[in-house]
Amino acid sequence: MTRPKLLSAGLAAAAAMLFSQNGAAQEIIPLQIPQDFNLVGLGVFSVPDYYGSDDYEARAAPLVRYAWSDTQYVQLIGPELRANVVPYRTDLRAGPLIRFRQRRDDDVSDSVVKHMRPVASATEIGAFLDYHMPLEPGRPLHKIVFSADIVGNTTGVYSGPSGNIRATYVYPFAQGLFGKPLLGTLGFGLFFASDHFNDRYFGIHGADVALFPQRAGRAYKAEGGLTSIKIPFSLTSQVDPKWLVTVAGRYERLLGDAADSPVVKDRGDENQWIIGVAASYLF
């Protein structure tokens, strides 16, 4: 296996860092995964304990990839399973995805939010599309990846679609780190959600209104649309012929009704961070 292929596999470990959140919108780093090998990995990272929280907790996410042809594969990254079903092409990847969202209940740190009515766990089904645009001949890992995904909830937690559009710059450092290959990524994305999605996670209704006396008995309805911007980043190094280590994170800024919600503005923070490390084994 060549060095560029090993480096590209490390992006999958970076994605593991950015996929799992407790009851939050999921994010994927556009990534280059070669078509001729399998891997398994694990990430450990710090995430908000609910979407919009200013309290953080440690979480782990698995990473598994299995290819059944030179170009087609299935991969599990944290709470998301997706399959590339596009044959013969390495620049275009598309297919179905299944995503799981954690519930929000009394297992959060905030003394008010923990007494709100729970938001049940949700299963989402949809599709993704990635396009890899090379920037330099002879260096396939130097590129920009344009991505989009859209999902809908299948368990009745909310109605309407949610989805992401994003671009990620991928750069292989020529000098590496301590003589080891080094790959960096920096992205920018937009997250959109339906009215019902945002009202479910950021609205205040019914008995919950009494928990926010500053509302003077008024409910808070959160409308959908552009919900946040996201800036993911990562550094991946091949530390051994069979092992890669990734340090990765993501900054997310909540916008509009999500940021203005008392669940966020009074009890949490519109600035959301994920930071952690992941390792993957190639086989």
Predicted confidence (pLDDT) per residue in 35-49, tens digit: 456 889 998 888 899
CA distance 165 to 154: 22
Number of helices followed by number of strands (H, E) in the chain: 4, 12
> Model's pTM, two decimal places?
0.87
Structural domain count of the chain: 1
Coil vs helix vs strand at 234 = strand
Whether the CB-CB separation of 164 and 82 falls below 8 Å is answered with: no
Model pLDDT for residues 163-175, shown as the tens digit of each residue: 999 999 999 887 7
At 240, is the pLDDT very low, low, confident or very high (cuts 50, 70, 90)? confident
Read off the CATH number of the domain in which 264 is found. Answer: 2.40.160.40
Q: Write down the pLDDT at residue 256.
A: 97
Average pLDDT over all residues of the chain: 86
Model pLDDT for residues 71-120, shown as the tens digit of each residue: 889 998 888 899 999 998 889 999 999 998 888 999 999 999 999 999 99
DSSP symbols for 57-102: EEEEEEEEEEESSSS-EEEEETTEEEEE---S-SSEEEEEEEEEE-
Q: Write down the pLDDT at residue 199.
A: 97
CA distance 57 to 119: 18
Q: Write down the pLDDT at residue 36.
A: 55
**Domain extent for 78:** 3-282
Burial 176-187 (b: 16+ CB within 10 A, else e): eeeeebbbebeb
Locate the DSSP E strands across 113-160: 122-134, 143-153
Q: Which of 2, 1, 3 is nearest to 236 (CA)?
A: 3
Rounded to the nearest 5 percent, the helix, strand and coil shares of the chain are 15, 50, 35
Model pLDDT for residues 253-263, shown as the tens digit of each residue: 999 999 999 99
Can you read off the two tokens belonging to residue 47? 């995430």
